[in-house]
């Protein structure tokens, strides 16, 4: 197996892992979910879910990755070998056989597969953000336009979204080829501070909007009368997806952690950064939305590409220069968040091919890049000229999204919880979390309880809600 690299600094560890978690789910999906589920009450449930479900699952992925220093598939294989199983491997009962079954290795396969699967359509949406960034700075999103028609015309074009997706993927490819320290870590140190700086500037700009007070009230004053089981499950689901759990990304990144990395503190720091980005994006979007009476806070997925360009023009009609800069910086923010996540989705697949197929990192990266581009083109065309081709009533783009987000990810999350909570030797888990006794972790028993019982049950409820009850 090829010599593996590690992250070179503690700040590099946190920023790279945070970059994996921070993505379009923070800037796009989080405000949409907040708008659809009543505002501040949803946010409180989301915060609770992050700390009692998200962080334990993230820490479990860190344990799997750092304990093996291998890609996700190899990590699960190593941890199911007899040398690392507990004494129950001698148990011939049904429970004993289940604990020692090689089927646990599906957890690693799931992580690598879903990372590749998501990448194929994620680069298309990321290409949209690149297009809107260019269009915004070229002043093509100002004035009196039919933004819905513009978006529909763009996404159904047989070549424009493909071109932008290819450019975006090549940027990701260049970073991946450079390796862990010179690529992922170096660019995370550059992109994450830029992302946070842009958020700070946009939040300050939102103070001048007429809808700032109303937007802040929507974000900060909870109305618990709007809380329902559906809202609770939506908040738990958003916490799970926002942190990039069960995608093989965090497990693979953790395999590059040094032996002195504090896994618990890193998980908390990543969750804090991810949550702050999501909430601050709400502080940017909702003052703008409430500045325009004709626009609703629950506009749905079209909020970013259809509603917001219109909102930015109206909100800053007295100061068009600020509106121009605000719009441009917002789409740069969207682009950076897409880029950090796309890098983390590319890496688990590249690492597996590089280490297990015995090919160079450059060749492995090209294999992943080309495969993603080809399937990405198919996903993009399925929204336009290939729209008549459907599987189970879904175009390819929607099918990739449905299979990954509503089927594979929740099942992968449940498997990770059961694997770490019930399969792995508790001493191995404790050694990783405490750095072999060097760190004091007073909440270790709570973590074990959450990962054994609370997290898998919560993810199972999300799975059934998304699959059978969501619209």
Query: How far apart are alpha carbons 193 and 197 in whole angstroms?
Result: 6
The structural domain count of the chain equals 1
Query: How far apart are alpha carbons 463 and 409 in whole angstroms?
Result: 9
Q: How far is CA 284 from CA 23, 44, 319, 345, in A?
A: 16, 18, 17, 27
CB count, 10 Å around CB of 408? Answer: 19
Q: Which spans in 22-54 are helix H?
A: 24, 30-36, 40-49
Q: 24 - beta bridge partners?
A: none
Q: pLDDT at position 307, please?
A: 83
For residue 459, tell me if it sits in a domain. yes
For residue 373, tell me if it sits in a domain. yes
Place of tokens 């809600």: 465
Q: pLDDT at position 85, please?
A: 46
For residue 312, tell me if it sits in a domain. yes
Q: pLDDT at position 405, please?
A: 87
Q: What is the pLDDT of residues 206-251, one digit of tens each?
A: 888 888 999 999 999 998 888 898 899 989 999 998 999 999 999 9
Calculate what percentage of the chain has a pLDDT beyond 70: 94
For residue 3, tell me if it sits in a domain. no
Q: pLDDT at position 11, please?
A: 96
Q: What is the pLDDT of residues 315-372, one digit of tens each?
A: 777 788 888 889 999 999 999 999 999 999 999 999 999 999 999 999 999 999 999 9
For residue 282, tell me if it sits in a domain. yes
Q: pLDDT at position 148, please?
A: 85
Question: In tens digits, what is the pLDDT along the chain, a chain of 471 residues?
Answer: 446 789 999 999 999 999 999 998 888 789 888 988 889 999 999 999 999 999 999 999 999 999 999 999 999 999 998 755 454 445 655 555 556 677 899 999 999 999 999 999 999 999 999 999 999 999 888 777 788 888 999 999 999 999 999 999 999 999 999 999 999 999 999 999 999 999 999 999 888 888 899 999 999 999 888 889 889 998 999 999 899 999 999 999 999 999 999 999 999 999 999 999 999 999 999 998 888 877 776 666 677 888 888 888 887 777 888 888 899 999 999 999 999 999 999 999 999 999 999 999 999 999 999 999 999 999 999 999 999 999 989 999 999 999 998 899 999 999 999 999 999 999 999 999 999 999 999 999 999 999 999 999 999 998 988 888 765
DSSP string, 110-179: HHHHHHHHHHHHHHHHHHHHHHHHHHHHTT-S-SS--HHHHHHHHHT-SSHHHHHHHHHHHHHHHHHHT-
Q: pLDDT at position 314, please?
A: 81
Q: pLDDT at position 3, please?
A: 62
For residue 114, tell me if it sits in a domain. yes
Q: pLDDT at position 239, please?
A: 92
For residue 1, tell me if it sits in a domain. no
Query: How far apart are alpha carbons 460 and 438 in whole angstroms?
Result: 35
> Is the Cβ–Cβ distance between 458 and 53 less than 8 Å?
yes
CB count, 10 Å around CB of 103? Answer: 10
Task: Provide the residue range defining the domain that includes 69.
Answer: 10-469
CATH code for the domain of 410? 1.20.1740
For residue 5, tell me if it sits in a domain. no
């Amino acid at each position: 197996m090829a010599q593996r690299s590690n992250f070179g600094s503690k700040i590099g560890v946190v920023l790279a892992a945070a970059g994996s978690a921070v993505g379009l789910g923070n800037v796009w999906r989080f405000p949409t979910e907040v708008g659809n589920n009543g505002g501040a009450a949803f946010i409180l449930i989301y915060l609770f879910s992050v700390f009692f479900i998200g962080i334990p699952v993230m820490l479990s992925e860190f344990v799997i990755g750092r304990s093996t220093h291998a890609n996700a598939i190899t990590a699960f294989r190593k941890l199911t070998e007899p040398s690392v199983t507990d004494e129950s491997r001698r148990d011939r009962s049904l429970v004993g056989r289940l604990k020692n079954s090689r089927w646990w290795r599906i957890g690693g396969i799931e992580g690598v597969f879903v990372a590749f699967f998501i990448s194929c359509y994620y680069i298309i949406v990321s290409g949209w953000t690149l297009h809107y960034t260019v269009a915004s700075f070229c002043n093509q999103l100002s004035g009196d336009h039919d933004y819905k028609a513009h978006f529909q015309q763009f996404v159904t074009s047989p070549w424009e979204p493909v071109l932008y997706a290819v450019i975006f993927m090549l940027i990701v490819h260049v970073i991946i080829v450079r390796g862990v320290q010179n690529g992922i870590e170096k660019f995370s140190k550059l992109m994450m501070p830029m992302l946070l700086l842009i958020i700070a500037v946009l939040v300050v700009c939102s103070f001048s909007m007429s809808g700032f007070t109303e937007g802040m009230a929507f974000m900060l004053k909870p109305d618990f009368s709007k809380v329902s089981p559906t809202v609770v499950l939506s908040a738990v689901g958003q916490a799970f997806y926002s942190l990039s759990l069960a995608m093989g990304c965090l497990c693979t990144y953790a395999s590059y952690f040094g032996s002195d990395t504090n896994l618990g503190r890193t998980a908390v720091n990543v969750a804090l950064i991810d949550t702050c980005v999501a909430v601050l994006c709400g502080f940017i979007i909702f003052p703008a939305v409430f500045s325009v009476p004709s626009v609703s806070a629950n506009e749905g997925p079209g909020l970013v590409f259809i509603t917001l360009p219109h909102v930015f023009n109206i909100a800053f009609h007295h100061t068009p220069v600020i509106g121009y800069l605000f719009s441009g910086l917002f789409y740069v923010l969207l682009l950076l968040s897409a880029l950090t996540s796309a890098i983390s989705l590319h890496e688990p697949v590249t690492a597996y091919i590089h280490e297990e197929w015995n090919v160079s990192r450059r060749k492995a990266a090209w294999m992943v890049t080309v495969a993603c581009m080809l399937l990405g083109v198919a996903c993009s065309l399925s929204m336009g000229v290939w729209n008549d081709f459907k599987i189970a009533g879904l175009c390819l783009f929607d099918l990739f999204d449905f299979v990954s987000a509503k089927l594979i990810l929740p099942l992968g999350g449940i498997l990770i919880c059961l694997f770490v909570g019930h399969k792995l030797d508790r001493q191995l888990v404790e050694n990783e979390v405490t750095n072999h006794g060097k760190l004091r972790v007073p909440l270790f028993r709570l973590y074990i309880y959450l990962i054994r019982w609370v997290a898998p049950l919560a993810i199972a409820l999300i799975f059934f809600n998304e699959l059978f009850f969501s619209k």
